[in-house]
Structure 1
Amino acid sequence: MFGFIHESIRQLVIRKYGEDTWIQVLERSGFENGKENIVNHYYSDTDTYVLVDSVSIVLKVTRDQVWEMYGGFLITYSMEIGWDELVRSMSPNLKGFLDNLDSLHYFIDHVVYKANLRGPSFRCEENPDGTLLLHYFTGRPGLYHIVKGVVKEVAKLVFDLEITLVVQGRTQRSVHMNNGERVEEHVIFLIKNVGESRRDSEASTTSLLTSAANDFGDLVDDNLRMSPQDFSKALPYHFVLDESCKLVQCGDELYNHIPKELLQPGTPILRIFEINRPQIPLDFENICNFINAVFVLQVKTSPLKKKHMDAMSKEERLQEVEAMEAESASNELTQGCHLKLKGQMMMLSTKKHIIYLCSPYVTSINELMQFGMRLTAMPLHDATRDLILLNQQRLTDVEVKYVVTSVIKTHTLYSLQLEANNEQLETMTRELESERKKTDTILKDMLPRKIAQLLLNGEHIEPCEYEATVMFCDLPAFQKIIPVCQPKNIVKLLNEVFFKLDRIVVLRGVYKVETVSDSYMTVSGIPDYTSEHSETMCHVALGMMWEARSVVDPVNKTPFLLRIGLHSGTIIAGVVGTKMPRYCLFGETVTLASQMESLGLPGKIQCSKWTYQKAMETGRFEFSPRGRTAVKGRGDVETYFLTRSLKKSIWEITNHERDVNINSIEGYEELETSIEYAQAVKNDNKSKVDPSNSVTCAIS
């Protein structure tokens, strides 16, 4: 909503409740003091609703009461700041004032503030008993209490009336527009005068709310008629439409802007015009509902297209008209400039026809020339002539004044611009620094921190040979879960497992290389060499085995068992790629570590003899020999199962608190018991449960 509304709310609260109350409102709404009431700024509806809700909470009244109070204050405040004469001169009675509210909104929107306010629309009906029915249409549901406050205050200040407004009906419907669908609310108010006027009403003869209409029926000669040709010359831009919104007749000048094939009686108006204002579907019912609004219609055919079609034969023009219909209206309206018409819709006495009385929507000589028009194209009685001439004079005066004052203003503008540029540059620098930190963080997550820092410094990373320990692990049961689980549950499950494994990797200070499907690869000893790389990786493997058991297999309802393989040896490591750089490992050590994992058993940590020997050099562990295992390309290799660490407990490795009433001191008994239990249940269920028969999978 427009900033003037925020300023009006601010004035209301400060005048009635004090500056401190307004400070409380700002604190609750989250606005910075001084930036909530910029008059020419366009705030989102959400910002305005938050501000009003904050006023409601601070004042301890309902939101509807705030809106009605605001509506009453809005009239008082507007008349104080210079709108008094305009408001009082709009109409001699309340009905006329309400009928002209749409025009007032249009004037404020296009002349005063030049903003897209999307104002409401009003239509007033007089009942036989002198009461009024006010129809209120808006694209912002729930704000009808503002109308109650506005109308009551106008009646009191301008027309010296005490009135009541009662909501007779309130409906909402979805309206399809060119730019999408919106909800439109229609509220009907019954307006009654609750007392005698406190002063004589010069304009009232039948009702205090309305004036009697003049009846010229006896004065008009029945033989006085105007031919369609004379009417089309007198009103050269008008057109008449029927209940089906089809063309009945039109003014002569329209033929200079629209192909005559489109101006045949019976042509749907939607084929000829696009509605710019009000933002409603162009049909008979909506036109009647918004009959008091200023209508701006745009011709769909550009001047260039019209000139091109005039040079065609009749058959070619018909084909071109059909092609234009097949094209999207949005595509057509993006080419060249299109004539706009501004005017009012009037219901004829038949109640089945509407006439559009309008003029070309041009404000300068340049716009006039764009459409190939001259001033003579407008009747002498049309005020648009004077508007164009006055505006041209204004533009000339402005240009002269600009030349005279430009030298004086240059230095000031330069200083202000320089200050603004400096402030903008500082803001951009802060934002750039923030984004740089995010990028650095991402890069340091993708690569070892030492390598990432070298890349950020612009240094070249040479591939190096390291002595390290590589670990692979996976979830053997994962492939059986995929066919029976929802995709989102699979991703959720894998994310839960990897989140726990990542925590151990960060905790023990090793480097996570990559994950592929359910396979997880990490390495210890690079890029910073440590003689304890094998010992560290053994602790990581024990910690991961413990963490995995806290996640339940959704098929077998047992703790997950990891299959882990370790191997120590020489590897080649280096950065590969520039767009998405990766720190990649190469060599037989990586291959053998992968085979240790693939040839291992669920719930077991299988190590090569090289890892076993290296781990025992710096650490103390308990291994159980598995024997010799056939490894592709290496023959029979001696392997071991890692069972426990004699230096660190499970609680130290995983950084978990031990429950002294339940858990053992080291924690390895619970780890082994859980693994044996899971294997036993798995073997027992293998003959009873066929996971492939499951159609759903619930993961908690």
Structure 2
Amino acid sequence: MYGMLLESIQHFVQLKYGEDLWLDILEKAGAKHTVFNTRQIYPDDLMTKLAAELAVHTCETVDSVMQYFGKCFVRFFSNLGYGYTIKATGRYFCDFLQSVDNIHMHMRFTYPKMLSPSMYLTHVDPHGVVLVYRSTRKGFTHYFMGQLFQIAEELYETTLDIRVLESSNNIPGTRSVMVKFRIDFDNRKYMLKHSNMKTPVGRELPPVSCKVLLRLFPFGVVMNKDMCILGVGEKLFHAWGNSTSILEKHVTEIFKLRRPKGISFTSGNIMNLHSVMFELELIRSTKSSDVKQTEVQTSSKLDRQGSQGARNILLKGQMRYIDDIKAIIFLCSPLINSLDELLSMGIYLNDLNPHGLGRELVLAGWHHCGRLEMMFEKAEQRSEELEQSYDLLDRWKNKSDELLYSMIPQSVADRLRAGASPLSTCESFESISVLFCELCDFNYSTIEGAMDIVSSMNAVYSCFDSLMDKFNVYKVETVGRVYMAASGAPDRTDSHAINIADVSLQLISQVRSMILSSGIDIQIRIGIHSGPAVAGVVGIKVPRYCFFGDTVNTASRMQTTSQPGKIHISAETKALLPENRYAIESRGPVLVKVRKYYTNILLLKMMNVRLIK
């Protein structure tokens, strides 16, 4: 389907439900695009997937959502001016229903790859009509109903009552969907106009000769009730080829019925569908070498422009039963998009109906073709540039998110993005665990030695960073040779002491592995303390998520009084660790300087911890 159908959905869903919901259903529907181009082709099932996801959010049925999508499309193209085209088809709503196929045929010049459905009326009365809808797409029945509701209400000020009389999703021998509707509405004015048109003119007119009709319509066809060809126009006879007789053959041997879709080519159906536009494809004779050579030269260009093929000719017109000759006549003209197609079909401008506008349309299309192609190319180029800009925007957005989350926890950053003030991020936590890790035994006296130390610190810190998320630990900052981390804030958890203990053991293990593998001569000493703290975003130019309180100070003292290769914990942290999981050794009394309300020297009982395994 063309992108204009999806554009209409995007516009009105965003208008009614908001952009966040639209982006959410796009993601869940598996859409690869967030912006749709009017003339780009997209998968047919994308709309039904979007309807299913929107139905989940709105607690409605998929059918009602598809009907809403159909109404959105009518409102959307009315804003683009296509509503005037529909209104111009006829004075009454029934006129529009009889002209829908003609509208689709005209739109095919603008949208050459459009797979439009086929619609025709089988019964008309003062209270409504019976309409047959055929399409190659499944799941669009209620979408079509929504379009009818909106067109009748918006353009014809008419209310409809639509019922499904018959439905078939798998027609034998085809991939089509057929639905027969009964559409009830006030159709009395149309019926009155139709009855007035049947009023006699006052005197009998002499019959018109078939030869005259076939001269007026040089591509016309006359058939009897058995659908055998009685006569054809001169130009059609030349287009078929003089080598094989076209007369007395069954019509299906010469033509393929393109529209209306899904009906059998019988006289009964043709008489019932006299107001429907027919489209037949002439199966050309292959013995015309000059035509075949022209086809080979232009086939690639025709395929690119959406042509129906270089060998066969499409004829569009109406089928009429003439009682005077007891025969059916197909009054038609070739369906031609450009001069290239005209030559490839082996016909010329003077072959077209002289009384119609076929010649003028072909020439006008040729004059404007170059300009339109240039405009389309520019539009496609701008569309591609827009797509690239959106991709680049997404990549830079991801990079900015990574940078932001490296300074501020994601949960806090999302609150700030939602409009919360930085002061509101300041919270008090009853119990968290704080880890300080220092890289020690560094000796350097030259610039080269300092560069080696920086390189080693970068390798160690990168390894540490990769471990934090695995143990639900937040890296606070690095200051020189000291690495600080915390658990229990900003995401509260009761196992913060276990998380810190596990990650600290992994830090010791990773450093030992790096010493063995790369020969880096680095030792670390770790200090851990648990207790209450306050945390929040501090700063404007380079905001950071910082921790405050005695717990942070004490954890720092644990690190400064620790020994290389050891993990120094306080009694508060030991009390939060489960028994029989870690081997904890008492270190005895240690003098630790702790600043509480004033500087004091406290005597704490400290421990070194190691894993039992």
**For structure 1, which segment, 73-82 or 347-356, has the greater mean C-alpha deviation from structure 2 after superposition?**
347-356
Cα distance in structure 1, aligned partners of 2:159 and 2:124: 17
Name the SS for the 1:338 alignment partner. coil
Equivalent of 1:298, from 266, 276, 282?
Answer: 282
Instruction: Call closer, same or farther: CA 1:160–1:91 in 2, change over 3 Å.
Output: same
What is the CA-CA distance between 1:277 and the residue it aligns to?
4.9
What is the CA-CA distance between 1:272 and the residue it aligns to?
1.6
What is the CA-CA distance between 1:236 and the residue it aligns to?
0.9
Show the 5 A alignment for 1:366-515.
Answer: 366-395=340-369
Equivalent of 1:361, from 335, 338, 343?
Answer: 335
- AA matched with 1:186: V
- Per-residue displacement from partner, 1:503-552 (whole Å, max 9, x unpaired)? xxxxxxxxxxxxxxxxxxxxxxxxxxxxxxxxxxxxxxxxxxxxxxxxxx
What is the CA-CA distance between 1:384 and the residue it aligns to?
0.8
Q: In 2, are the aligned partners of 1:241 and 1:355 still within 8 Å (CA)? A: yes
Q: Who is 2:315 aligned against?
A: 342
Instruction: Call closer, same or farther: CA 1:364–1:283 in 2, change over 3 Å.
Output: same
Q: In 1, are the aligned partners of 2:68 and 2:143 still within 8 Å (CA)? A: yes
Cα distance in structure 1, aligned partners of 2:20 and 2:120: 37
Name the SS for the 2:175 alignment partner. strand
Cα distance in structure 2, aligned partners of 1:210 and 1:58: 47
Q: In 1, are the aligned partners of 2:230 and 2:247 still within 8 Å (CA)? A: yes
Q: Who is 1:493 aligned against?
A: none
- AA matched with 1:76: R
What is the CA-CA distance between 1:113 and the residue it aligns to?
2.0
Name the SS for the 2:123 alignment partner. strand
- AA matched with 2:321: L
Cα distance in structure 2, aligned partners of 1:118 and 1:184: 12
Name the SS for the 1:100 alignment partner. helix
Q: Who is 1:96 aligned against?
A: 95
Instruction: Call closer, same or farther: CA 1:249–1:393 in 2, change over 3 Å.
Output: same
Instruction: Call closer, same or farther: CA 1:216–1:68 in 2, change over 3 Å.
Output: closer
Cα distance in structure 2, aligned partners of 1:210 and 1:50: 44
What is the CA-CA distance between 1:79 and the residue it aligns to?
0.4
Q: Who is 2:70 aligned against?
A: 71
Cα distance in structure 2, aligned partners of 1:26 and 1:396: 37
Instruction: Call closer, same or farther: CA 1:263–1:67 in 2, change over 3 Å.
Output: farther
- AA matched with 1:63: V
**Structure 2 unaligned blocks of 5 or more:** 293-308, 393-613
Equivalent of 2:151, from 150, 154, 173?
Answer: 154
What is the CA-CA distance between 1:365 and the residue it aligns to?
4.0
What is the CA-CA distance between 1:61 and the residue it aligns to?
0.5
Cα distance in structure 1, aligned partners of 2:207 and 2:42: 53
Instruction: Call closer, same or farther: CA 1:290–1:148 in 2, change over 3 Å.
Output: farther
TM-score scaled to structure 1, two decimals?
0.47
Show the 5 A alignment for 1:225-244.
Answer: 225-244=207-226
Cα distance in structure 1, aligned partners of 2:335 and 2:80: 30
Instruction: Call closer, same or farther: CA 1:366–1:147 in 2, change over 3 Å.
Output: closer
- Per-residue displacement from partner, 1:280-320 (whole Å, max 9, x unpaired)? 46622776669624514133214725999xxxxxxxxxxxx
Instruction: Call closer, same or farther: CA 1:192–1:396 in 2, change over 3 Å.
Output: closer
Instruction: Call closer, same or farther: CA 1:86–1:242 in 2, change over 3 Å.
Output: same
- Per-residue displacement from partner, 1:666-693 (whole Å, max 9, x unpaired)? xxxxxxxxxxxxxxxxxxxxxxxxxxxx
Cα distance in structure 2, aligned partners of 1:223 and 1:169: 43
Name the SS for the 1:25 alignment partner. helix
Q: Who is 1:630 aligned against?
A: none
- AA matched with 1:125: H
Q: Aligned residue pairs: how many?
A: 368
Instruction: Call closer, same or farther: CA 1:293–1:13 in 2, change over 3 Å.
Output: farther
Cα distance in structure 2, aligned partners of 1:352 and 1:42: 46
Cα distance in structure 2, aligned partners of 1:232 and 1:15: 55
TM-score scaled to structure 2, two decimals?
0.53
- AA matched with 1:14: Q
Equivalent of 1:190, from 180, 183, 190?
Answer: 183
- Per-residue displacement from partner, 1:355-391 (whole Å, max 9, x unpaired)? 3222223344444444454432223202111112222
Cα distance in structure 2, aligned partners of 1:163 and 1:365: 44
What is the CA-CA distance between 1:246 and the residue it aligns to?
2.2
Cα distance in structure 1, aligned partners of 2:150 and 2:349: 44
**2:68 is equivalent to residue 84 of structure 1:** no
Instruction: Call closer, same or farther: CA 1:142–1:122 in 2, change over 3 Å.
Output: farther
Name the SS for the 2:157 alignment partner. coil
Q: Who is 1:26 aligned against?
A: 26
- Per-residue displacement from partner, 1:337-357 (whole Å, max 9, x unpaired)? 424133123242559854322
Q: In 2, are the aligned partners of 1:246 and 1:267 still within 8 Å (CA)? A: yes
What is the CA-CA distance between 1:97 and the residue it aligns to?
0.5
Supply the RMSD in Å over aligned alpha carbons. Answer: 3.8
Cα distance in structure 2, aligned partners of 1:220 and 1:253: 36
Cα distance in structure 2, aligned partners of 1:352 and 1:383: 30
Cα distance in structure 2, aligned partners of 1:61 and 1:353: 53
- AA matched with 2:2: F
Show the 5 A alignment for 1:137-286.
Answer: 137-172=134-169, 174-176=171-173, 181-193=174-186, 206-207=188-189, 211-215=193-197, 218-219=200-201, 221-260=203-242, 262-277=244-259, 280=262, 283-284=265-266
Cα distance in structure 2, aligned partners of 1:112 and 1:211: 33
**2:104 is equivalent to residue 116 of structure 1:** no
Q: In 2, are the aligned partners of 1:169 and 1:189 still within 8 Å (CA)? A: no
What is the CA-CA distance between 1:239 and the residue it aligns to?
0.6
- AA matched with 1:271: E
Cα distance in structure 1, aligned partners of 2:17 and 2:372: 44
Q: In 1, are the aligned partners of 2:260 and 2:279 still within 8 Å (CA)? A: yes
Show the 5 A alignment for 1:120-139.
Answer: 120-123=118-121, 125-127=123-125, 129-139=126-136
- AA matched with 1:299: I
Cα distance in structure 1, aligned partners of 2:10 and 2:274: 32
Name the SS for the 2:219 alignment partner. coil
Q: In 1, are the aligned partners of 2:48 and 2:139 still within 8 Å (CA)? A: no
Q: In 1, are the aligned partners of 2:176 and 2:262 still within 8 Å (CA)? A: no
Q: Who is 1:57 aligned against?
A: 56
What is the CA-CA distance between 1:215 and the residue it aligns to?
3.4
- AA matched with 2:182: F
Instruction: Call closer, same or farther: CA 1:90–1:210 in 2, change over 3 Å.
Output: farther
What is the CA-CA distance between 1:213 and the residue it aligns to?
4.2
- AA matched with 2:332: C
Name the SS for the 1:226 alignment partner. coil
Cα distance in structure 2, aligned partners of 1:105 and 1:307: 30
Cα distance in structure 1, aligned partners of 2:61 and 2:3: 23
Q: In 1, are the aligned partners of 2:87 and 2:155 still within 8 Å (CA)? A: yes
- AA matched with 2:119: S
Cα distance in structure 2, aligned partners of 1:380 and 1:296: 21
Cα distance in structure 1, aligned partners of 2:75 and 2:229: 45
Name the SS for the 2:73 alignment partner. helix
**Structure 1 unaligned blocks of 5 or more:** 194-203, 309-335, 424-700
Cα distance in structure 2, aligned partners of 1:274 and 1:347: 18
